Amino acid sequence: MENKPKLLIIVGSVREGRFGPVVTSWFTEQAGAHGGFEVDVVDLAEIDIPLALPAASPKAPADEYPRPAGMAPLTSALASADAIVLVTPEYNHSYPASLKAAIDWHFTQWTAKPVAFVSYGGAAGGRHAVLHLENVLTELHAVTIRDGLAFPNYFLTWRDDRPTDPDAPGYAKVLLDQLSWWAHALRSARETTPYPA
């Protein structure tokens, strides 16, 4: 049986009354229907993510970097992931502080992994957030996927917890196909040759 790549989907917003879980739930359904991944979801609202970082570098091996016990589900999910999808809203033309903190507590866990984006917001559909995330993730030696899924004015374009655009599942499939290609390619590369970071 094929050893499917592990896809980790992260709920990036932790705000009270947030819309993030609705988008995540729909996208997780699309990922399951795609069939190319073993899918896992981590909700940052359920993770202990302090803003104060330890003195050590997050590039240190995992057992030498003191993370809170409540962060373990995120750290282990990132470490074992072959592909990651960040579900992000747009806050002040960027992405939420919860997501930045989750990123900064890790380093090697992102290296040579493909990351795709599902964003939502007002007129720009969260694309300002995605542009910033692409920049940040390059610093961590992650590979960002070109075709993101963006939902502008989600408060008008979702009904009954689903996007009203009939093309949305097709767009999700394009993203997942590209992510699958990279997940296989980079897993194989990581297994064959240590990444020269």
Ligand X SMILES: Cc1cc2nc3c(=O)[nH]c(=O)nc-3n(C[C@H](O)[C@H](O)[C@H](O)COP(=O)(O)O)c2cc1C
Query: How many residues of this chain bind ligand X (CB under 6 A)?
Result: 13
One character per residue 48-87, x = contact with ligand X (rule: CB under 6 A): ----------------------------------------
Burial of residue 32, with CB atoms counted within 10 A of its CB: 0-12 exposed, 13-18 middle, 19 or more buried = exposed
The alpha carbon dihedral of 100, 105, 111, 117 has a sign of negative
| Residue 26 binds ligand X, judged by CB under 6 A | no
DSSP code of 50?
-
Give the distance, in angstroms, between the CA of residue 175 and the centroid of all CA atoms in the same chain: 13
| Residue 90 binds ligand X, judged by CB under 6 A | yes
- Which two three-digit tokens encode residue 90? 């747009």
Q: How many residues does the chain have?
A: 197
Strand, coil or helix: 87:
strand
Q: How far apart are CA 56 and CA 11, in angstroms?
A: 27
Distance of closest approach, residue 169 Cβ to ligand X, in angstroms: 21
| Residue 13 binds ligand X, judged by CB under 6 A | yes
Distance of closest approach, residue 11 Cβ to ligand X, in angstroms: 8
| Residue 171 binds ligand X, judged by CB under 6 A | no
Stretch in the footprint of ligand X (CB under 6 A) among 2-10, 72-80, 119-127, 143-151:
119-127
Binding region for ligand X (CB under 6 A): 13, 15, 18-20, 89-93, 121-122, 124
